[in-house]
A and B are shown apart, each in its own frame.
Chain A
């Protein structure tokens, strides 16, 4: 059955065995086409004094010229304070479900096999909603950490409770010394959050259901975007795999991603306190 074996160099020959025989993957990065700067405004430069960087890899420069066109999707939700975490996790996990593969195992002759991704249902406690996430505790922990920080920042902002959290998928492009690698985003998901406060338990009950309905809509939106089959990075060779995928997890392999957030102050302008978390090859657990 479905053994995933990837055939060697591009000779065009396909092995016939039960699983799908695949041709040699093409080089990871196609030439960067010129395009507008896709990077979201407000995400400041690297290594701010207060920012926390996770992982050992050097930080990426923000993309300069030659950045590929990056598609950008925006979702908006209104939630009550205690629903923030679950709502964010539901959306982020749904996106990452679609943007994760099994672990690649490269073998000789350039072939590689792909591991299996398991899934599990997660019931929300504060929302009438169930979402599916990949079965990876490391990934879940990383997301929970990021979402926890976002929630704390939102709660402490003291403003009217608006903010946004961004999940960005990027590719790395190696540059020669002394220049750092470039990070070229190819897909950015932004979730705008509006926090409401409710007066009594009855309103909370209604909010449970309403937010559940909204999240259902968001999942459908996400699936719609995913199934447009727009640009995806090409499958990398072994030497290039770390430029495309986050290979630091032990059971799944998501595309390289980073999560950042912004809190809007009460004046409605974006506040500069953007803490960038770079969650890269290895995670700070």
Chain B
């Protein structure tokens, strides 16, 4: 076999790479739509399934990908990148992942294009399917809906990783050697989820989105397909023990807390869905903004309802410092509101907690809660039980609280969202978790209480001599009575 690629081989290889790039984009974007993907196997080939995998083609995505590629193929120095970012209903956005399809110069001349390369590309796509479910953004994307949406952007050229914050991690999906170079597919994902507050002043906004505004072909589309119920099941827990482990252990819920070194004491409630007021999308899914940004967004109800206490450590200016000035109400007033709302017997607690995710701080839901709320929560600590241990788990923090050392002492407790298996809280007003919590400490049955018994016995004993004396006086009457019976 000669070392130069035959023209047929070259044509085939180019075609494979092009369709591989298109399918890669499809897999990544579909994995971030927020719903489960299911395609059918077919034993008879349909003729349109590249790489023998059933991957649907969303036309819009294909269109955007082709537009970004503009007839070119990934080559050395020209990589195809898919950027996944999160945008809250407040307008803040944050890059979560960059998926890169790169080509380097290391060639494998001996490899057979139409056979080995094709099969290996197919294997790489399968690996991509598996890996897209494993990065942190997957779970975020499954819970997108009213509070935030996941967006994608495709660009071609140099990889820009600066938007991922500090300490981002990389996972390599795989490589395939070809006669013209080695294709590499990898993902760089954000660890530090402390939100960059970009809503300080209006004039700052222009400089806020460098990665979106300044890069090449910009196309941003969001898919916000989750039903409202998904929000109820968002996880609120994190494990500070693994903070700072970074490269060795990749713990995924941990990464949410990676940047939350600052305390976020109060994450307050926006009434949200509880009041039954529907959330209004700010624009229809297919409207186009000036910069081609298409979004389906839902705004929160009533911005005035929330505020946040100033965090005790402000080394991360990233979060709440800006919101407190603008909002009404003192924290205590809001707490009052919370208490009132929480007393109801069938209040669906998880929804409360989710709406507590302060829209000022979109990732507040992953931040520790103030212990005061929990202490006063009648559902968590029923009044008649003696000092019950708070369900907030102290052991979470026993392993290490380095991440929270700057926080207030209330951060020792972390709310672990209680999610019993199989319970779905979008159907019943009261879910299994709430039921369990509420009836966790029932009061004791009064009939089992010893005091009453003990008391009456003492009384009985005391009154016994008197009764005896009375009976002895009436002995003759008793005798006469007995005689009448005989």
Contacts and interface: CB of A to CB of B under 8 A. Distances in A.
A206 interface: yes
25 contacts: A3-B47, A16-B8, A21-B12, A21-B114, A22-B115, A23-B115, A98-B123, A101-B52, A102-B42, A105-B45, A115-B52, A118-B40, A119-B53, A120-B36, A125-B421, A131-B130, A135-B41, A206-B416, A209-B239, A216-B252, A223-B131, A226-B127, A227-B172, A229-B120, A251-B41
Contacts of A223: 127, 130-131, 173-174
Nearest to A113: B45
A245 to B, nearest CB: 13
Contacts of B168: none
Interface string A1-23: 11110000000001010011111
A128 B127 CA distance: 20
A117 B131 CA distance: 18
Contacts of B249: 213, 217
Contacts of B395: 203
Interface in B163-200: 171-176
Contacts of A206: 237, 239, 393, 396, 416
B416 to A, nearest CB: 5
Nearest to B437: A201
Contacts of B52: 2, 4, 101-102, 114-117
A116 B53 CA distance: 5
B50 interface: yes
Given A125-B422, A208-B419, A222-B130, A227 B124 contact: yes
A136 B41 contact: yes
Given A118-B38, A132-B129, 4 more contacts: A2-B47, A2-B50, A2-B51, A120-B37
A151 to B, nearest CB: 16
Given A213-B251, A224-B172, A205 B418 contact: yes
A235 to B, nearest CB: 8
Q: Which 4 A/B pairs are nearest by Cβ-Cβ distance?
A: A227-B174, A2-B50, A118-B39, A120-B38
Secondary structure at chain A's binding surface: helix, strand, loop or mixed? mixed
A126 interface: yes
Contacts of A125: 421-422
Contact of B54 (A117, A123, A220, A250): A117
Category for how many chain B residues contact A: 35 or more
Contact of B19 (A2, A128, A134, A203): A2
A130 interface: yes
A225 to B, nearest CB: 10
Given A117-B41, A209-B239, A226-B174, A19 B134 contact: no
A27 to B, nearest CB: 15
B48 interface: yes
Contacts, number: 191
A219 B41 contact: no
B112 interface: yes
Contact of A251 (B42, B114, B173, B416): B42
Nearest to B433: A201
A1 B50 CA distance: 7
A102 B43 contact: yes
Contacts of A105: 43-45
Interface string B138-180: 1100100000000000000000000000000001111110000
Interface string B215-258: 00000000000000000000101010000000001111110000
Interface string A81-123: 0100000000000100110011101000000011111111101
B118 interface: yes
B133 interface: yes
A21 B475 CA distance: 120
A202 interface: yes
Name which of A105, A115, A128 has the most chain B CB atoms within 10 A of its CB: A115
Nearest to B175: A227
Nearest to B440: A201
A211 to B, nearest CB: 11
Contacts of A136: 41
A118 B38 CA distance: 7
Nearest to B9: A14
A22 B114 contact: yes
Contacts of A130: 36, 133, 138, 142
Contact of B40 (A135, A210, A226, A250): A135
